[in-house]
Amino acid sequence: MSILINENTKVIVQGITGRDGSFHAKKMIEYGTKVVAGVTPGKGGSKEHGLPVYDGMSEAVKATGADASIIFVPPAFASDAVYEAADSGVSLIIIVTEGVPVHEMLKLDRYLRSKNIRYIGPNCPGLISPGKSKIGIMSADIHMKGSVGVVSRSGTLTYEVVYNMTKAGIGQSTCIGIGGDPIVGTNFIDALTLFEADPETTAVAMIGEIGGSDEEEAAKFIKTMTKPVVSFIAGRTAPPGKRMGHAGAIISGTSGTAEAKIRALNEAGVEVANTPQGIADLLADKILAGAKK
């Protein structure tokens, strides 16, 4: 098993005729992902990488029975593409698009949750279950099939972590990039919950960064988990207040600094690595020890 996706997940690429959509559709197909169709309004009836292109999600899902959609659509049109996906019957939506206004996300989030549709992102690299399926933009070759779940708010930092894991012989069950925007569809707790329930996952690496309170919330949840979690938090040296205003702190009751996050994680019994490479070392210990936290 793996979380959210597997070798049978059928995917539609929304915005498949765009530059990024086309490029990554090809990469996903090459990886073995079951990409079944593309959607670009006005391009219905054409082909892209041998796949049928439809004008709308509704007909594409009817024709293919797709389960998931990945969105490569410019910010101004992204939310409409997501609403369309939500109404089409897919149960998983990955929003790669960067730059969706937060007020759009508030509405979209409310809508998708009310329909019990899982979404990941926006502004995220997607997810990969090595050897099974990749719905995202990460380069596949650094991954290796295994039993560690990886969840991260960051893109290249995750590659760095995964690269070091793979080099150290530590494979991954699923790697999921949840995106760093203020409003995201799947947060750390959501991913941790799924990993905790996944029999194929034995440990989790959580890669956080400054801002918000998602890591602090996750720390509380980790206390209830049976599987070991290790972590890395980026942004210890980031200047304070560069991303977070005052209201943020009043609302979340946390400063959102790396220190606050690391403290919360340590209190929950999570070891936090000093460097991205350090994650692999911590995992090696946990896995060698066959440790139950």
Instruction: Verify binding: residue 114, a second copy, rule CB under 8 A.
Output: yes
Q: What count of residues does the chain have?
A: 293
- Among positions 47-106, residues that touch a second copy (CB under 8 A) are none
Q: Which does 292 bind (CB under 5 to 8 A by kind): a second copy, other proteins, none?
A: none
* Beta carbon of residue 49, minimum distance to other proteins (angstroms, whole number): 18
The question of whether 246 is a catalytic residue gets the answer yes
Q: Which does 194 bind (CB under 5 to 8 A by kind): a second copy, other proteins, none?
A: none
Which residues does 165 contact at the CB level (< 8 Å), separation at least 6? 144, 148, 150, 171, 172, 205, 279, 280, 283
* Beta carbon of residue 254, minimum distance to a second copy (angstroms, whole number): 25
Q: For residues 32 and 101, which CB has a smaller minimum distance to other proteins in the complex?
A: 101
* Beta carbon of residue 19, minimum distance to other proteins (angstroms, whole number): 9
Closest CA to 149 of 123, 170, 134: 170
Segment (H or E) for 151: strand 145-152
List the catalytic residue out of 24, 49, 103, 246. 246
* Beta carbon of residue 109, minimum distance to a second copy (angstroms, whole number): 12
- How many residues sit in the footprint of a second copy (CB under 8 A)? 3
Residue with tokens 């049978």: 8
Q: Which does 101 bind (CB under 5 to 8 A by kind): a second copy, other proteins, none?
A: other proteins
Closest CA to 137 of 121, 119, 117: 121
Which residues does 66 contact at the CB level (< 8 Å), separation at least 6? 10, 11, 12, 36, 37, 60, 90
Q: Which residues are catalytic?
A: 246
